[in-house]
Amino acid sequence: MMKKLLYVLALGLITVSCSTEELSTELNEGAKFTVLTGTDNSYLGTYKGTFAGFGTAKRGTVEINITETSATALLQFVDGSETLMTGTGSTGISGMKTYSFNALEGSFNFSVAADGTMPEASSVSLTDGAGSIVLAKDVTATPMRLVTGTFGCDDCGGHPVLSDENAQSSFVWNMIIPADEFGETLILTQVSFGDSWFISNGTLHEVYDKVGLLVYNDLSGSFPFGASGLVSWEATQIYSLDGACVDIRGKWTVTSPSYEKIKGWLKSDSSCNPL
């Protein structure tokens, strides 16, 4: 079975809030997205990603468009609200392009290398608080599928944050998935709860079924949880070839010497189920 490894060109990490758990930002070395001609190998073009607010249920998608003469960022949230920001740019050290995006509803900074690699968002602030933005460049060969969602506990194992009913409304599980139905690819997960947040790779496995326009495949991954724990997760994705829907459902478990029987569910905000 041929494995197609893709590299998430870069991720945006926000350092405006302390985490109660150890932050994991490890990415798999040696994998890379295919980069074509035109704006694919330039800082110009489109960057797509997801947003997660710290300590809130605020979540959504982000699309940044950079041209020679303008820069805009559109944040679309699951509650139906939108924030359109305009950016002012300059060239920083080592040729990095830097932008400051602002609107009445908030602001954030964005930087990217001249060749379109290493896009990073920082200092994200909206009217309801700080958050994180994770980004990848939407190149011709691998356009991005953006998924926002939530997670919860079936058994929280006495964990002080996961078991907190007030914190449970802030559980966010977002994904950036290359829109490719062939082979296996890397995906990026953005998990946030309370003041804790994690960014990590996962794997989108090969398609195992098609029904009409609907395509079925599995996803899986893991990331460090605190100093000695490990979160393992698996899910099934259903999506429509015409882009009409994406539906992800799955489960996760925590292996830790400090807590027992921590397990739960994850699901996307969107669904391909007509019922």
170 to each of 128, 181, 191, 257, how far by Cα in Å?
13, 32, 10, 25
Dihedral sign for Cα atoms in the order 253, 56, 71, 270: positive
Residues across the chain? 275
**Residue-wise pLDDT tens digits, 52-93:** 998 888 999 999 999 999 999 999 999 999 999 999 988 767
Question: Half-sphere exposure of 132 toward its Cβ, with a 13 Å CA cutoff?
Answer: 29
Q: How far is CA 223 from the centre of its chain?
A: 14
Residues 6+ apart with CB under 8 A from 275: none
| Per-residue confidence (pLDDT) for residue 38, from 0 to 100 | 62
- Residues with Cβ within 8 Å of residue 198, at least 6 apart in sequence: 21, 23, 24, 189, 190, 191, 192, 223, 224, 225, 231
pLDDT of residue 51: 96
SS3 at position 169: helix
Bigger pLDDT: 52 or 168?
A: 52
| Model pLDDT, residue 195 | 78
Of 38 and 165, the structure prediction assigns the larger pLDDT to: 165
**What tokens does 103 get?**
């609107």
Q: Is the CA virtual torsion 268, 272, 273, 275 positive or negative?
A: positive
CB 150 within 8 A of CB 160: no
Instruction: Count the Cβ atoms, other than its own, within 10 Å of residue 97.
Output: 20
Structure tokens at 231: 């979160």
Separation in Å, CA 212 to CA 58, 165, 236, 272: 34, 41, 17, 12
Name the residue type at position 154. D
Q: Which residue has the higher pLDDT, 123 or 7?
A: 123
Residue 10's pLDDT band, with cuts at 50, 70 and 90, is very low
Model-wide pTM > 0.85 = no
